[in-house]
Structure 1
Amino acid sequence: MKKGLIISLLALSALTSRADEGMWMLTDLKAQNAAAMMELGLEIPIEQVYNADGISLKDAVVHFGGGCTGEIISAEGLVLTNHHCGYGSIQQHSSVEHDYLTNGFWAMNRDEELPCKGLTVTFIDRILDVTDYVNEQLKKDDDPEGINYLSPKYLAKVADRFAKAENIEMTPATKLELKAFYGGNRYYLFVKTVYSDIRMVGAPPSSIGKFGADTDNWMWPRHTGDFSLFRIYADKNGKPAEYSTDNVPLKVKKHLKISLAGIEENDFTFIMGFPGRNWRYMISDEVKERMETTNFMRHHVRGARQEVLMAEMQKSPAVRIHYASKYASSANYWKNAIGMNEGLVRLKVLDTKQKQQEQLLARGREKGNDAYQKAFDEIRSIVAHRRDAMYHQQAINEALVTALDFMKIPSTGELKKALASRDKEKIKAAIAKLKEEGEKYFASVPFPEVEKAVGKAMLKTYSGYIPQEQQIGIFKVIDSRFKGNSDAFVDACFEYSIFGSKENFDRFIKKPTLNKLDKDWMVLFKYSVTDGLLQTALAMKEANKNYDAAHKVWVKGMMEMRQDAGTPIYPDANSTLRLTYGKVLPYEPADGVVYNHYTTLKGAMEKEDPNNWEFVVPAKLKQLYEAKDFGPYAMKNGEMPVCFIVNTDNTGGNSGSPAFNGKGELIGTGFDRNYEGLTGDIAFRPSSQRAAVVDIRYTLFIIDKYAGASHIIKELDIVK
């Protein structure tokens, strides 16, 4: 499809598109969305939202840690994001003595702000439509396999060429990201600047930041203060730099104004962020495949792992702190998978997809064009052929890779080669390297008894879903050497492997032998897992070899058909900066049930259960509630707002996204979706899909009245 045709389709679709569906490219806002946004309630020029040649709201929205969104809320680089986005960093600084997960953390001055190793914040400097340039390069370059148009490796080379041709200034902190959109029919280049000296400024206790935990996750109504604060530091010239005590807070070019005016039902709002992935152009066979492979394994395997982890975490504060972030990450998409499958069935999405498919196929037949039928048949065939490999791959990944930290043992390949060569210098170097990596490994798995318990559960879970004849090779060893007793095999791993304990490792390092490596249980286990992943990947690669070309044709047809029907046309999410807009609205999850568009602190008090860690309310928060000491952050009726919902089109990656009112002022921080809307990654249902947002007034109330961190409030640009 030609670039001009896509632009015209996008412009036409904007005339009739629903405001609540669509993850829109910022570069297209002026042409296709500005009029609709103004009609709904946008009060500022669209150039103040996004301006390719000047400063706009876009410049205050950042990619936080690579998987979340954040917003700049002060002139000195203060970043607001979700508590669950900052969770890993909060955990990083927590210990039994300083349990910031449980008690919260507030830096009362700049010297107390804590550096977060490995955390980055990324600004999007420029967004360039480079479709014509990429298409020119595709014609020039050899492409024997016909995959360049979607290859990240190839597109990275093209990005470098473009930057040189256009004299784009490159620094060590500059990153180029060239991505394909619409199945490879359009290309955008993102020029980014990455900051790596990020420091933790504030986080409420988990009893506020994770109030409701797994029970309330993906649900509405919500009563969580899901936020945390970080600060970007730079060198004295304002340039990105590694951590140094000489670094200073970044003087940003744009920060957001914060509104205390609050929200009302039907208020216009828009959200900017980095939605991760969605799959709106799937055929029904792909939806069914997703339900029966990825979602199935996430549901059942993670559920089994989490049951073991939770039991262990409740026994020991140290264990709880160590595994808190891992557990939260696992549980998040465990519940997502359950809710998505339930919703796909309840909303009969497969039926809807089949009707859409038949419409496009009929359209092709009417026009005498069999391209859509061929693409459809090809995708169906691919899905059928890769199904078993995908199912097995998901089982390996969920049960034996993601779940087992002890499978992250260092590679012994270099030492093995050195020992075989009998070269003393090579052996000495390989031992030194393995010793260094071993120290890091043992620091990462300080609770072997927990790893052992999880390992036993996961091997049973894996073997329960994969037929014996298809299981990875290590299970033949378990059958022959351990009489099928996988528990005994896990015990042997920790008792005899060189990575089973620090003592075993130290003994081996003193006298390493090839024989020991060749017979080491953990090493053999890891090799077997790696081989299993390789075999399933090869099987899927063979099945998938024609998928991209067929998908490109199918997406082209769906776009044309949607344009004719007056429905929106926009690219699937791919972790690039997008905007979505809509209104603050309630919804009806079931007959006779209406969910209001906002919640208050009263709801948290009603949910309180001091015997359930998920619903503990801090004593000080109760005191503030009982005294109605809400300061300037209360609603007009005197109640303390907590969260609200909007009918915008969000997905994973939008966590931490700023929610704006019509004036472009910050009114909240997006943190979740509702359970009934989890099908939105595949099929958007405007009547039931909502994004949950922490009301900025609750965030300020917690910072000011609960934490007593009034110095942070003074740093902000607050308007009434």
Structure 2
Amino acid sequence: MRQLAVVAALLGALPALADEGMWTYNNFPAAAVKAQYGFEPTAQWLDKVRLSSARIAGGCSASFVSANGLVMTNHHCTRGCIEQLSTADKDYIANGFYAKAPTDELKCPAMEINQLAEITDVTDRLNTATQGRTGKEYSDTLKAEMAKIEKECATSDQVRCDVVTLYQGGKYNLYKYRRFQDVRLVFAPEHAIAFFGGDPDNFEFPRYDLDVSFVRVYQDGKPAPQDNFFKWSKAGAKEGELTFVSGHPGRTSRGLTIAELEYQRDVVLPKTLMLMSEQRGLITEFQKRGPEQKRISNNLLFGVENAVKAQKGRHEALLDKAFFAQKVAAEQELRQKVNASPELKKKYGAAWDEIAKAQEQLKHIRKELNFMEKGQGFSSQLYNIAMTLVRAADELPKENGVRLREFTDAALPGLKAQLLSPAPIYPELEIARLEFSLTKLREELGADHPFVKKVLGKESPLTLATRVVNGSQLRDVAFRQQLFDGGKKAISGSKDPMIELARLVDPDARAIRKNHEDNIDSVIRKNSELVAKAKFEVYGTNVYPDATFSLRLSYGSVKGYVEDGKKVTPITVMSGTFDRHTGEAPFALPKSWLDAKSKLKASTPMNFASTNDIIGGNSGSPAINKDAEIVGLIFDGNIQSLGGEYGFNESVNRAVSVHSEAIIESLKTVYGATRVIDELRPGKPVPVKAPPAG
């Protein structure tokens, strides 16, 4: 196990040091950057970078790189789209894709891209609404006020508004986005080079990947013009150069209490790792059924393998005794300062103990919550569609403020886009996944559990999975639309077996969710808010919040590190890609690269490591220089970065990017993608004519 030498100041309790921090745009430490690197980002610079950044609603980051709506992100962030557009005859995952003409750009069946237009602090409004309230009343009031704020903000389907919880409830910001739901694939390389080295190289460095893809956002059937976009740097990142990463880190847990971290270490992570490992085995065996089965499950296997390695790294971080002791020391220091002041003790002193009690309660309902409500017992796209339809029929007639959060007016455009997506669904894979999850449901809850008896009856998991998948019409988008439009009457009268299964599950799933939200989550939310406010009073506001899949900006530099006594240089070159080629997956380069070997410039920088503070969700983030020019594309971190879930160690934690020069050299020499290059080159905008819709 690698030691994580992280001091208390880097554990979420004290102001950040060195290059640490995933900073919000309305609290960016520009003066600290100037003090360390001699460059101070202005308000205008920050606005441009914010508006040039983008978010893929499914969980990745991206950036606008031309005035014509061209968006750059990782290949692994568009894998879902690429796989959905593929067929047995046209496998774009294996063979890559390039739209040589505007009319060749293909619409992704289920992709949404967001651009953050405005940030508004709504803390006072929410604090006023919830003042003096606790438990269920606090939770209900908070959700209702959030829904009200979001509805006031979302004036059309082209606008998305999210109230973002920061500092565990210490602050609330309203993020208003431009929403693009017409997204079309422009370029993607072959999987073999986009994920060169596969799982063995994942979260490792040195790396030699071309993990890049390009899509385009459309509005009213035309490419959506952009006033703000990143231009391309002339030479890309150099060692020692200041770099910024603007992206959407998904989640960190640096501000959690010790009780919460113990629950993660002792319960959540071990159970999650075991379940995911079994899922990986299931999908690996499924792929052996034949080439088509392998094709349709590749993206699923990629996701599971990536998650297993990430969760393992996080677990190892919390098992590191020295690291965990520092987390304990940081919390004890804060609590001692709070308890030393009668005023602070009265306001905040009990918060940590209340969170600890809630964690104990959570242990008692964990299995039922995960397997009945959070999807671990019903792993199926068709089931998810069915449950969405069943709940939509119940929720949408209600007042906006009392609905489940995913059915509020502000959330509806995104929900409907996913629900009515024409993305293909494969029955054989659905049956395999649902059978597995139903088997785990019975295993975890026990064969005598009333819910298990209710769901399975006399059927085996395989029999039930086969019956409801093969008998369902929910693969038909028109049928889904009919049920959605028909509301409660259509759903209650439906004989579709997957709808019937969702109707059967819903009452019990709702009950366990309500118990969790009213009696556990509400306590954690309220007392986490108090802990955050205690930190503000003791240490001030010069701290950054945990990641929440909202736009953040980090700063750092291109820098190597020492591992096992050996210096790791920060930049790899293209010739090393061919040195690593063995001819066998996952170290087998595609034919296009082997054919282009003699033409490629061997010294072209390929990937680089930097001290930018990132986490999952940052995939696809642009790496830019002080002139707001693209110098790279984030696609991974090194193995030490996995401990970044809980703390940051500048000496070894590294973000990993595709170098901007590798992207240009590959587009030009390997793929002949001149149409893309002409859009990326500064000062050479190329008009993009609108292709016909569809």
What per-residue deviation string (whole Å, max 9, x for no partner) do you get for residues 425-470 of structure 1? Answer: xxxxxxxxxxxxxx9999954343x44444444444444444555x
Deviation at 1:306, TM superposition (A): 2.1
In structure 2, do the counterparts of structure 1 residues 86 and 492 end up closer, same or farther at CA, with 3 Å as the change threshold? closer
Q: 2:167 aligns with which of 179, 182, 198?
A: 182
Deviation at 1:410, TM superposition (A): 3.8
Q: Which amino acid is 1:268 matched to? A: L
Deviation at 1:264, TM superposition (A): 3.1
Q: How many residue pairs end up in the alignment? A: 632
Rounded Cα–Cα distance in structure 2 between residues aligned with 1:518 and 1:716 = 51
Where in structure 1 are there 5+ consecutive unaligned residues?
1-12, 164-168, 235-240, 418-438, 506-516, 631-637
Rounded Cα–Cα distance in structure 2 between residues aligned with 1:110 and 1:301 = 44
Contact 2:49 2:246 in 1 (8 A): no
Deviation at 1:390, TM superposition (A): 2.0
Contact 2:572 2:606 in 1 (8 A): yes
Rounded Cα–Cα distance in structure 2 between residues aligned with 1:187 and 1:401 = 33
- Give the SS at the match of 1:63: strand
Are residues 1:305 and 2:264 paired?
Answer: no
Aligned counterpart, 2:486:
none
Aligned counterpart, 1:99:
91
More deviation, 133-142/261-270: 133-142
Rounded Cα–Cα distance in structure 2 between residues aligned with 1:574 and 1:48 = 24
Aligned counterpart, 1:359:
333
Rounded Cα–Cα distance in structure 1 between residues aligned with 2:422 and 2:58 = 26
Q: Which amino acid is 1:704 matched to? A: K
More deviation, 208-217/702-711: 208-217
What per-residue deviation string (whole Å, max 9, x for no partner) do you get for residues 660-711 of structure 1? Answer: 1233211011112222221212222323322111111111122111111122
Are residues 1:266 and 2:240 paired?
Answer: yes
Contact 2:15 2:543 in 1 (8 A): no
Are residues 1:473 and 2:451 paired?
Answer: yes
Are residues 1:194 and 2:199 paired?
Answer: no
Aligned counterpart, 2:303:
329
Aligned counterpart, 1:222:
207
Identity %: 25
Q: Which amino acid is 2:97 matched to? A: F
Q: 1:81 aligns with which of 73, 82, 88?
A: 73
Are residues 1:173 and 2:173 paired?
Answer: no
What per-residue deviation string (whole Å, max 9, x for no partner) do you get for residues 483-526 of structure 1? Answer: xx65566567678x677999xx9xxxxxxxxxxx9999867765
Deviation at 1:203, TM superposition (A): 0.4
In structure 2, do the counterparts of structure 1 residues 442 and 262 end up closer, same or farther at CA, with 3 Å as the change threshold? closer
Q: 1:624 aligns with which of 591, 596, 612?
A: 596
Aligned counterpart, 1:146:
138
Match runs of 1:517-666 below 5 Å: 526=502, 529-530=505-506, 533-541=509-517, 542-563=519-540, 569-589=543-563, 591-612=564-585, 614-625=586-597, 627=598, 629-630=600-601, 639-666=603-630
Relative contact order, higher structure (CA 8 A, sep 6+): 2
Are residues 1:706 and 2:683 paired?
Answer: no
Contact 1:303 1:334 in 2 (8 A): yes
In structure 2, do the counterparts of structure 1 residues 521 and 251 end up closer, same or farther at CA, with 3 Å as the change threshold? closer
- Give the SS at the match of 2:308: helix
Q: Which amino acid is 1:79 matched to? A: V
Name the larger-Rg structure: 1
Where in structure 2 are there 5+ consecutive unaligned residues?
1-11, 395-418, 480-492, 684-694
Q: Which amino acid is 2:21 matched to? A: G
More deviation, 188-197/690-699: 188-197
Contact 1:473 1:528 in 2 (8 A): no
Deviation at 1:472, TM superposition (A): 5.7
Structure 1-normalised TM-score?
A: 0.78
Are residues 1:377 and 2:357 paired?
Answer: no
Q: Which amino acid is 1:116 matched to? A: C
Contact 1:400 1:529 in 2 (8 A): no
Rounded Cα–Cα distance in structure 1 between residues aligned with 2:122 and 2:315 = 38
- Give the SS at the match of 1:311: helix
In structure 2, do the counterparts of structure 1 residues 406 and 262 end up closer, same or farther at CA, with 3 Å as the change threshold? closer
Structure 2-normalised TM-score?
A: 0.81
Contact 2:612 2:654 in 1 (8 A): yes
Aligned counterpart, 2:426:
446
Contact 1:343 1:676 in 2 (8 A): no
Q: Which amino acid is 1:286 matched to? A: E
In structure 2, do the counterparts of structure 1 residues 473 and 660 end up closer, same or farther at CA, with 3 Å as the change threshold? same
Aligned counterpart, 1:233:
218
Q: 1:127 aligns with which of 109, 113, 119?
A: 119
Contact 2:116 2:175 in 1 (8 A): yes
Contact 1:588 1:595 in 2 (8 A): yes
Are residues 1:157 and 2:148 paired?
Answer: yes
Q: Which amino acid is 2:339 matched to? A: R
Kindly report the root-mean-square deviation, in angstroms, between the aligned alpha carbons of the 2 structures: 3.9
In structure 2, do the counterparts of structure 1 residues 572 and 402 end up closer, same or farther at CA, with 3 Å as the change threshold? farther
